[in-house]
Amino acid sequence: MAHTPDAHPQLKSEQILIMPRPIRRAILPVGGLGTRFLPATKAMPKEMLPVVDKPLIQYAVEEARAAGIEQIVFVTGRGKTAIEDHFDDSFELRETLSSRGKTAELESMTAMVGRPGEIAYVRQQEPLGLGHAVWCARHLAGGEPVAILLADDLVLAGKPCLKQMVEAYQETGGNMVAVVDVPREQTGRYGILDVDKDDGRLVSVKGLVEKPAPENAPSTLSIIGRYILQPEIFDHLETQERGAGGEIQLTDAMARMIGTTPFHGLRFEGQRYDCGDKVGFIEANIAFALEREDLGPAVRERLRSYIS
């Protein structure tokens, strides 16, 4: 059979060249001390605080897996072994659930553990900032783009936030962050975008400022704890430059990539809850409980009784 030459060989070559590299790994920094939740976090990682009946960190892992992530890299610190145990197999619990016929609970626990090799751990010896935590995972990134998820930021959405970002990243390539508008008086708590173009969904970024005073903030678009970053980020973090608060800031390293790498912010669909804040954490518990078919009606009724 004669070979039919490709009618558009150059077009196919260009398509291959501009196709963004897939996002296969996610870094989850979990080395923080959680001092705002003391005494609850004295002996328990803050990432293990439950929202309804799942710890914060499990929501982050499930979001990563829903976005097609193949390997999770936890950047841990002292006192974080509960996270490792949570995502490990428990023979005794598995046997107990099986013998008692608790099939749903058994399936849930098995799915949470995942396959061997899907989860890796690296230790951040000193709490030197988010940028330093990400840098600690450099050798496990495999020279590929990575997703970064902060468990403190919990997003309630029909389509998981990171999945929305991966889909948008397939259009744009480069670096991408999830963003929300915040009150101007709160800009000093976040990394803020300096906006070039804005179509209402995707924002082209021309600069980043870490925790600017309200009067100096270039916008009110704040980065939340969801990132897709190209592997060159590790080269910039390698310099170990200190930024705001004397820490190695991820925002500063990202800012140095602007101009050489496409950079976008995504206004995702969904509601973000700041679970690093006590009020935000309580609000997340209420919102996630109300979304549950098995809990929503009863919780709604209880809330009415408190309000009245």
Condensed to tens digits (0 to 9), the pLDDT of residues 224-241 reads 999 999 999 999 998 777
Pairing mode of beta strands 175-181, 263-267: parallel
Q: Are residues 179 and 302 in the same domain?
A: no
**Given pLDDT bands bounded at 50, 70 and 90, which one contains residue 2?**
very low
Cβ(72)–Cβ(64) below 8 Å: yes
Q: Is 115 helix (H, G, I), strand (E, B) or coil?
A: coil
Cα–Cα distance, 77 to 304 (Å, whole number): 41
Q: pLDDT digit string (tens) for 139-197?
A: 999 889 999 999 999 999 999 999 999 999 999 999 999 999 999 998 988 889 999 99
Q: Are residues 265 and 294 in the same domain?
A: no
Q: Are residues 173 and 289 in the same domain?
A: no
29 inside domain: yes
Helix, strand, coil percentages in the chain from 3-state DSSP, rounded to 5: 40, 25, 35
Domain hosting 229: range is 20-276
Q: Are residues 92 and 120 in the same domain?
A: yes
Considering its fold, how many domains does the chain have in total? Answer: 2
Q: Residue 160: which CATH number?
A: 3.90.550.10
